[in-house]
Amino acid sequence: MAAPPEKTLKNLSGKWVMNKTLSDDTDRILQMQGVGWFLRRAIALSTITLTISEYVKDDLTHIDISQVASPGGITSTEDRILDWEYRDHSDRVFGEVKGKSRWVKLNDVDDDDFLKKGWDDLEGEHVQGYVESKGGGWTADQVWGFEIVDGKRYYVRHVVVRKGDDWKQARLVYDYQK
């Protein structure tokens, strides 16, 4: 189901399921990130569910995400603090990475137009996440927000992954579930 009006980037808590019909294919991005064929196939055939808990602690926004691919039970977690400070993370799918997140205005996002366009709110703040692989040679830049897709409002992530001179991009669209 599309995102209800009370769901905003300041209130993302809840369950979100990737809408694979509306989302771009992620296989080429996952391949660039060193994810093997078997795991990519399992992810492609799975339902991806994000359980998000968003809260403010010590004046900083925290977004804790538990991600499950089912069937298969492939799980990962992301605990983001929106202060633009690097934090190390060991991820079951992506290996050893370091990442940072922040609130950002779109005009402050670096030079990638794909990350800046299509949002239903072009003036307000969005969430930006940036991850560097410690051994894989790739980076991933994401901007989160809401978009109108086929006449309905959805939670969306724009993702750009770079490795050397190569890059891939994808739009990931999520349905809200209570």
Q: What tens digit of pLDDT does each residue of 47-80 get?
A: 999 999 999 999 999 999 999 999 878 888 899 9
Model confidence at 8, in pLDDT bands (50, 70, 90)?
A: very high
In the predicted model, what is the mean pLDDT of the chain? 94
Surface-to-core class of residue 159, CB atoms within 10 Å of its CB (0-12 exposed, 13-18 middle, 19+ buried): buried
Q: How far is CA 1 from the centre of its chain?
A: 18
Angle at 82 between CA 76 and CA 85, to 5 degrees: 90
Q: Are 5 and 163 in contact (CB under 8 A)?
A: no
User: Which DSSP helix (H) or strand (E) runs through 92?
Assistant: none
Question: Which band of pLDDT confidence, cut at 50, 70 and 90, is reported for residue 131?
Answer: very high
Asked whether 158 and 114 are in contact (CB, 8 A), the reply is yes
What would you report as the CA-atom Rg of the chain, rounded to the nearest whole angstrom? 15
Q: According to the model, what pLDDT value does residue 72 have?
A: 74
- 3-class SS of residue 117: coil
Residues 6+ apart with CB under 8 A from 6: none
- pLDDT at position 121 is 87
Q: Are 36 and 52 in contact (CB under 8 A)?
A: no
Neighbours of 71 (CB within 10 A): 9
| pLDDT surpasses 90 at 93 | no
Residues 6 or more apart whose CB falls under 8 angstroms from that of 49 comprise 15, 16, 17, 18, 67, 68, 69, 70, 177
**Residue for token pair 């994808």:** 170
Residue 19: pLDDT over 90: yes
Q: Is the pTM of this model over 0.85?
A: yes
